[in-house]
Amino acid sequence: MGEGLKQWFARWIERAQATDIKSSRSRTILLYLCFVVISAILWCFLTFNNVITVDVQVPVTITSKPDNVRFLSKLPDTLTVTVSNRGSSFVKYIFKSVPAIELKFSDYADGDGLFKVDSPQLRKLINRQLGRGFNLSSVLPDGINVRYTDSQGKRVPVVVDIDAKPQLQYAQTGPLIQSVETVMVYAEPSTLDDITQVYTYHIKAHELTDTFRRKVSIAPLRGAVVEPRSLEVMVPVEKMTSQRQKLQIVVRNVPQDTKVIVFPSSVEAAYRAPVSALKRESEVRAIVDYNDIVASHSSKVAVRADEYPAIYQDVKLSVDSVEYIVEKQRQP
């Protein structure tokens, strides 16, 4: 075998030297490729004939689990198994993955909230899956020990932990919007009674210049599982622009037999509003309250901006008070 390989290699060298290749660099590359191929062949012969130790990832699946059962901590998706065997035994795993170990729920659940597969049971299942000839050195994790619950669960509100700050000249133009307001929590009854709400992971979003959107996960609870585990949050942010507008003063709470005239009858309002508000009528109002007139001992009454959305900022009127005349209407 070795003599035949040596002759084959010698013929390759002679062919490379006899080939009409114009540059010495091309001949060097060709010889280098020959050595690489031969080295790979020799490595395969040596490896496949010797006993080697490798780490194999063995998938784990749970079968026949009732729909109302939920595990309260994460089950391992794979087991890291250290095994020894002749190199040729591992060739089939180069082209396909190791078959998964199937754990039937009813075989390992104790009926009292514990799903347990000890180390000897795992090793027996792995040996059966890999077949004869494999020497099992270690398994990580070396056992499965997970609590589960079949309780109905409880619906609780989600609190979004967020620190959102728009950039200067921008503002949050509405409340935080979240895709879900409540989630289901599953746990053992004693644990479930103490859970009244859940929190998301902290979100920090500063210097915002546009509407903020993000998918955020719910922080895990010890001894409990939450469904769904994440939600979408949105913080509406718009650019603010300065506006000026003349407003007619409206007198409120005037009795039916009374007429109130104010001087001046209008004021100028200055405020900052979202750019989108430019396309609609201003929602700022200039208000005088008749009750202030009754309580006033002056010829003037306060006028204030009122009844406008919170997205309007720094609202100021050109005057803070106006004169007034009260006329009583005669009854017919």
What confidence tens digit (pLDDT) does each residue in 49-63 have?
566 677 888 899 999
What confidence tens digit (pLDDT) does each residue in 202-218 have?
999 999 999 999 999 99
pLDDT for 234 equals: 97
120: number of Cβ within 10 Å: 10
15 pLDDT higher than 90: no
pLDDT for 198 equals: 97
**Among 86-90, 284-288, 304-308, which range has the highest average pLDDT?**
284-288
In this structure, are residues 282 and 231 in contact, taking their beta carbons and an 8 Å threshold? no
Provide the β-strand partners of residue 135.
Answer: 84
What confidence tens digit (pLDDT) does each residue in 241-284 have?
888 889 899 999 988 888 888 999 999 989 888 887 776 767 78
What the block records as the tokens of 190 is: 């004693």
What percentage of the chain has pLDDT greater than the value 90?
A: 38
What percentage of the chain has pLDDT greater than the value 70?
A: 79
CA atoms within 13 A on the CB side of 16: 18
In this structure, are residues 98 and 129 in contact, taking their beta carbons and an 8 Å threshold? yes
Is residue 324 classed exposed, middle or buried when 0-12, 13-18 and 19+ CB atoms within 10 A define those classes? buried
Question: pTM of this prediction?
Answer: 0.65
Helix H or strand E encompassing 1: none
Place of tokens 């005088």: 288
Is residue 129 classed exposed, middle or buried when 0-12, 13-18 and 19+ CB atoms within 10 A define those classes? middle
Q: How far apart are CA 157 and CA 175, in angstroms?
A: 17
pLDDT for 293 equals: 87
Helix H or strand E encompassing 141: none
Q: How far apart are CA 15 and CA 101, in angstroms?
A: 52
